[in-house]
Amino acid sequence: MNNQEIASKLWKEAGVLRKGGVTSQDYLTELTFLLFLKMCEEQGEEEGIPEKYRWNNLVQKEGLELLNFYRQLLIDLGNPKITPNKKVNIIYNNASTTISAPAILEKLIKDINDLDWFSEREESLGNLYESLMQRSLEEVKTDAGQYFTPRALINMMVKLTQPKVGERLNDPAAGTFGFMVAADNYLKHKTDDYSSLPEDEEEFQVKEAFSGMELVPNTHRLALMNEYLHGLDGKLELGDSLSTNGTWMKNFDLVLTNPPFGVDGSLPGRDDITFPSANNQLNFIQIIYNSLKANGKARAAVVVPDNVLFADGIGEKIRQNLLNKCNLHTILRLPAGIFYAPGVQTNVLFFTRGESDKDNTKETWIYDMRQQMRSFGKRNPLNNKDFEDFEKVFCVDDRSKRKETWNKEKNPNGRWRKFTIDEIIKRPNTSLDISWMNDEEEQDNRSLNEILSEMNNKSKAISEAIAELNKALEGIDDSED
């Protein structure tokens, strides 16, 4: 039985739990607690679990005794005095169950125990868990983007940034740790699961190569579980990357991330952010390029909403700083509908930190994957094939071989176009929100919902710009007082 088959069987239990009042998101959390114990048994790594709370003892109990035992198990595994294992403590920190019916808990445990796990051990227990996370987050449409980035998008970003053994990678908005897990899988594929590496290099890959920080406690719990099931033991902190808790994130070779979008009305707590803003994404872009080694090789691929490309004031200063400190060589304009929040317009920025902090961007290539594309959504998800043309023209091994597909006379709707730094600087607000393709074909085929989604997205961008302006005006008023 492969991981997709196991994931499907486990997901059927969600229907039973929902009838008992357990939401889809809570189901994944409940499953995390149970799967951790089962995976420890399957992988022979139960030394961190007190003997009385190991899987074989849990599966033997029934009824109300089982429910009470499970409730106490959750408390004790999060207690370092009873369970002196830091990883286990963090996963079960403040853990509790939303299951109130003993019969439902008993069925879930027995169904997990009865599955054929042997073949799954060969395929990857971690991949099973990621399949379950994806199913859960697809059910939770609201704000799901902060937890789940489409796997095809992650894989493309990893492939085009080419992680290398011995490099230090980071995700300051780790979510469920999907970017780091994908990078780890990429390197394992190239090194026969690290078995071809010397022992010290293999240890570095497991314990030091991949790191991150996540703000939301339950999401951090899922990230830790995902990390564990993929055999990693790096630094994965709970906290706000924009606060002083995030200042440890420095000197990385590669950053891969999809930071949270939106305006929270407050300024970041870090004192190393040159242009503090109420826009989270504007702050994140700064900490990302500043966290890269200034060696001409350190690089990043970052998902950002459109307003990062056109916001004036502080936004323009940040773009100018990015263009100076880094070589912003590529922007991919992503289509709408690939994230669960409707109408969100996003891009991927690819940039390399320079050896100096001046004049590193000479030209920026933009690929428009937004205009005249098929519709995307839950029923028509993004897939690896959607990126094939972009990957081809990207020329990952030698960017000097790039050739435009756009031509003013012969192909005005070519998706791949180059802009020099002089052309960019002359644009109002140094805007990088550049579109040249005729979108009449797309507009003629759009549904009312798609049109309304775009209108809502533009309205949101205007609201965020107004909030940013109000914040700036408050500072002016305070200074005049």
Does residue 15 lie in a domain region? yes
Q: Look up residue 292 and give its DSSP letter.
A: B
> Higher pLDDT residue, 347 or 469?
347
Scan for tokens 């190991």, then name that residue.
Answer: 54
pLDDT digits 0-9 by tens, 32-61: 788 889 888 887 778 889 999 999 999 999
E-strand spans in 208-345? 210-214, 235-238, 254-257, 299-305, 326-333
Q: How far apart are CA 93 and CA 103, in angstroms?
A: 25
pLDDT digits 0-9 by tens, 164-176: 999 999 999 998 8
Nearest to 171 by CA among 266, 287, 324: 287
pLDDT digits 0-9 by tens, 269-313: 898 899 999 889 999 999 999 999 999 999 999 999 999 999 999
- Count of structural domains within the chain: 2
Does residue 51 lie in a domain region? yes
Nearest to 447 by CA among 386, 394, 377: 377
Task: Give the mean pLDDT of the chain.
Answer: 85
Kindly give, in sequence order, each residue whose CB lies less than 8 Å from that of residue 212, ignoring residues fewer than 6 positions away.
Answer: 170, 171, 172, 173, 174, 177, 180, 223, 234, 235, 236, 237
Q: How far apart are CA 65 and CA 267, in angstroms?
A: 50
Does residue 205 lie in a domain region? yes
Mean pLDDT within 134-152: 61
Q: What does the block give as tokens for 363?
A: 């030209």
The reported pLDDT for the residue numbered 264 is: 67
Does residue 472 lie in a domain region? no
Q: How far apart are CA 33 and CA 12, in angstroms?
A: 18
Strand order, beta sheet including 254-257: 235-238, 210-214, 169-171, 254-257, 299-305, 346-353, 326-333, 363-368, 416-420
Give the domain extent around 39.
3-131
Question: Contact at 8 Å (CB) between 133 and 226?
Answer: yes
pTM: 0.84
Look at residues 101, 131, 161 and tell me which one is the last residue of a structural domain: 131
Domain identity same for 202 and 310: yes
Q: Is residue 377 very low, low, confident or very high in pLDDT (cuts 50, 70, 90)?
A: confident
Domain identity same for 291 and 390: yes
The reported pLDDT for the residue numbered 2 is: 63
pLDDT digits 0-9 by tens, 409-457: 999 999 999 999 999 999 999 999 999 987 544 444 445 555 565 666 6
Question: Contact at 8 Å (CB) between 375 and 450?
Answer: yes
Domain identity same for 66 and 180: no
